[in-house]
Amino acid sequence: MLRVATFNVNGIRATHRRGFGDWLAARDCDVVALQEVRAPITALPDSAFGGYHAAYDPGELAGRNGVAILTRMPPAAVRSWGAPAARIDPDGTVEQPERGDTAYPKLARELRDFAHQGRYLEVDLADAPVTIASLYLPKGGLPAHLQQPGRMREAPDGGARYERKMRFLAGFARQVTAARRASRAQGREFLLLGDLNIAHTPLDVVNWRRQVRNEGFLPEERAWLDGLIGPRRLVDVVRQLHPQAQGPYSWWSWLGESFAKDTGWRIDYHLATPRLARTAVRAQTDREPSRDARLSDHAAVVVDYDLPRDPVTPVSPFRA
């Protein structure tokens, strides 16, 4: 069995103060993909990742973004979009990138401005034929024609944040297809984890009719996700296991009573190649019992895959 979690921690230092270490030890995952770690390696808490090996890319924007993937065994290879990601041993030792660790040799042109922001990281597991990616997709904003001063939490920007997100989406659609095919060429399944900042269907957000003019549920964003998900591309594993459920939501605003009333969004995903998706037997969102017990504004999404665990010969999908 392979237990895998994705968790936007909204700042690893803050989440640690709230009990992340206890959650990590109790949940007993084999792999944990993190987003918004928001901390350089030198600022990580002591024993930040328990007994796990960590591939870590904090990005170059201070206090923003950053992704990591925690594994029980050292990964066979690590790939990032910018400089090669760091490896952190369970004792906190930071290792230099190993043979097979690399930045992507070919990055979609729309993604080049994002390459050093700590938004994407992938690893080849050493004990299962799976490549796992952690993604933090830009939140975005509203197109210019939907921006109304006085009704927005942020100042109108003429659609700049919206256009930035749409550029990312255009490039990432090609990039993830290339990553999926590279994994298949090496006999590996592919699993994309992370915060996509898009709710896909009316089941994935409260009061969906009121949300169609809000970022994260715009028709063009949902159409993009339609193109990413399909029976021969990537499968939404949680929705596969809970086809008619409202939610389960994975994000709630800190404001007001959003958490208490469960007025949330499902924006954190396991997107798996079809063969891997068919092995999923259980999916759970770790929603805390009360607002005061929350670790983050997101909840971890945990899936059990009925997958054998055997050593895998490390092979780079980008070898000549």
Strands (DSSP E) along the chain, which ranges?
2-8, 31-35, 53-57, 67-71, 77-80, 86-88, 94-95, 102-103, 120-124, 130-136, 189-195, 235-236, 268-272, 280-285, 301-305
Q: What is the pLDDT of residues 269-286, one digit of tens each?
A: 999 999 999 999 999 999
Q: What phi and psi values does residue 131 have, to the nearest 5 degrees?
A: -100, 130
* pLDDT score of 218 more than 90: yes
* pLDDT score of 142 more than 90: yes
**What is the residue whose two structure tokens read 């009316």?**
202
* pLDDT score of 112 more than 70: yes
Q: What is the pLDDT of residues 61-93, one digit of tens each?
A: 988 999 999 999 999 999 999 888 999 999 999
pTM above 0.85, yes or no: yes
Distance between terminal CA atoms of the chain?
Answer: 33
pLDDT band at 145 (very low <50, low <70, confident <90, very high): confident
3 state SS of 170: helix
Higher pLDDT, 272 or 103: 272
248 neighbors 238 (Cβ within 8 angstroms): yes
pLDDT band at 45 (very low <50, low <70, confident <90, very high): very high
DSSP β-bridge partners for residue 268? 195
**Hey, what amino acid is at 77?**
A
Q: What phi and psi values does residue 158 have, to the nearest 5 degrees?
A: 70, 15
* pLDDT score of 309 more than 60: yes
Which tokens belong to 124? 């080849």
CB within 8 Å of 83: residues ≥ 6 apart = 103, 116
Which tokens belong to 20? 């992340």
What structural domains and CATH numbers belong to the chain?
2-305 (3.60.10.10)
What does the pLDDT average to over 306-318? Answer: 63
* pLDDT score of 304 more than 80: yes
User: What is the pLDDT, as a whole number, of residue 197?
Assistant: 98
264 closest CA partner among 181, 186, 185, 203: 203
d(CA 298, CA 268): 8
